[in-house]
Amino acid sequence: MPTKSIHFGSDNYAGAHPAVIDAIVRANSGHVPGYGDDPITAELAARMREIFGPETEIYPVFNGTGANVVSLQAMLPRWGAALITASAHVNTDENAAPERVAGIKLLPQRSSDGRFDPAQIAPALADVMVPHSAEPLAVSFSNSTEFGTVHSLEQVAEITSTAHRHGLFVHCDGSRLANAAVALGTDLATITADVDVISLGATKLGALGAEMIVVRNPEAAPGIDRLRKIDLQLASKQRFLSAQLLALYGGELWRELAGNANAQAARLAAALREVPGVSLYAETEANAVFATLPAGVADAVRERGWRFYDWPAEDAPGTVRLMTAWDTTDAAVDDLVADIAEIVGGGC
């Protein structure tokens, strides 16, 4: 089977950005206090306060699932529940870790496009039967979503205002928040205005292995410093996590990298629209392209060495998800489309 240097299975496939590797190398000098009591973490914390506000607290962690688990566990009491969309990553791709590890309940709500509808908050609260039901005390939404859609600034504002009006805290799963912000032409603070706790992604953006919990409202996450340790997400040599995060978010590198991923997704979507027999299952808003291919085409394309995943769309068999990354090139996009077009046209 031919091998490809760039794939479209996930932005997790991409390697670490050179600036991240350089930051790790620079951090690897001498003896430095552990568990976050180091100058790099202090610099990162100061930078995040500049971006998100003076009350901001940060907690670097190892991965996105850890960020979500620690965040939701801190935001909810043992009897608490989080309202989410049924397609949310915390519900479909984390092996029930928020419920198994955090000991809280997730309450999935219907969504046709991955976005959270704040109109579902009030009915969910009305259905609670004390003490027989878990009590919804938080909303968790993704930006961008599992469908590649982006919550607009107006939609985020409606989610936060509705949730807060009903006494609920708000969490944003922002594993691809940079992509959402670039898609809207805004910044990280504006796209999370009035959000209480954020799981800020970095690995998909070019980190070697680091994510960060950003607490904009410390009252929403009591005990999070202790829970990070309990949930196995406190790094003893935290300077190496902080160095990666600072490399991406200390300046505007995050915007450049997310911008390339989004631009390549737009390029890919535009090219696929021109291939006879291929249709787009959804609009491309960030760095995900959902394309419906004729029967057998996806497997034939994979035989040429490409990696990507099928998407379970009952109303459109043959749909695949194609993800672009910070390092996706024009040539990779063009080569993939050329292979798809040749196979659709009868090539082998």
* CATH code assigned at 313: 3.90.1150.10
The domain boundary, picked from 210, 230, 251, lies at 251
- Does any domain span residue 23? no
Residues 36 and 50 in one domain: yes
Residues 124 and 92 in one domain: yes
Nearest to 140 by CA among 95, 187, 91, 100: 91
Residues 219 and 298 in one domain: no
Residues 77 and 143 in one domain: yes
Residues 247 and 261 in one domain: no
The CA distance from 297 to 316, in Å, is 14
Q: Where are the beta strands (DSSP E) in the chain?
A: 57-61, 80-85, 105-109, 135-142, 169-174, 197-200, 211-215, 279-280, 288-292, 309-310, 319-323
Nearest to 272 by CA among 245, 308, 314: 308
Residues 162 and 277 in one domain: no
The CA distance from 188 to 70, in Å, is 21
Nearest to 341 by CA among 252, 271, 250, 261: 271
Residues 243 and 278 in one domain: no
- Does any domain span residue 17? no
Residues 245 and 266 in one domain: no
Task: Provide the domain count of the chain.
Answer: 2
pLDDT string in tens for the chain (348-residue length): 567 899 999 999 999 999 999 999 999 999 999 999 999 999 999 999 999 999 999 999 999 999 999 999 999 999 999 999 999 999 999 999 999 999 999 999 999 999 999 999 999 999 888 899 999 999 999 999 999 999 999 999 999 999 999 999 999 999 999 999 999 999 999 999 999 999 999 999 999 999 999 999 999 999 999 999 999 999 999 999 999 999 999 999 999 999 999 999 999 999 999 999 999 999 999 999 999 999 999 999 999 999 999 999 888 999 999 999 999 999 999 999 999 999 999 865
Residues 218 and 90 in one domain: yes
- Identify the CATH number of the domain in which residue 71 sits: 3.40.640.10
Mark residue 103 as left, alpha or beta (left: phi above 0; alpha: psi -120 to 50; beta: remaining): left
User: Would you say the pTM of this structure is higher than 0.95?
Assistant: yes
Residues 269 and 239 in one domain: no
- Does any domain span residue 181? yes
- Does any domain span residue 130? yes
- Does any domain span residue 320? yes
Structural domain for 47, as ranges: 32-251
- Does any domain span residue 113? yes
The domain boundary, picked from 223, 251, 279, lies at 251
- Does any domain span residue 1? no
- Does any domain span residue 14? no
The domain boundary, picked from 206, 221, 251, lies at 251
pLDDT of res. 347: 63
Nearest to 140 by CA among 76, 93, 72, 77: 72
pLDDT in tens, 94-127: 999 999 999 999 999 999 999 999 999 999 999 8
Residues 180 and 104 in one domain: yes
Residues 281 and 233 in one domain: no
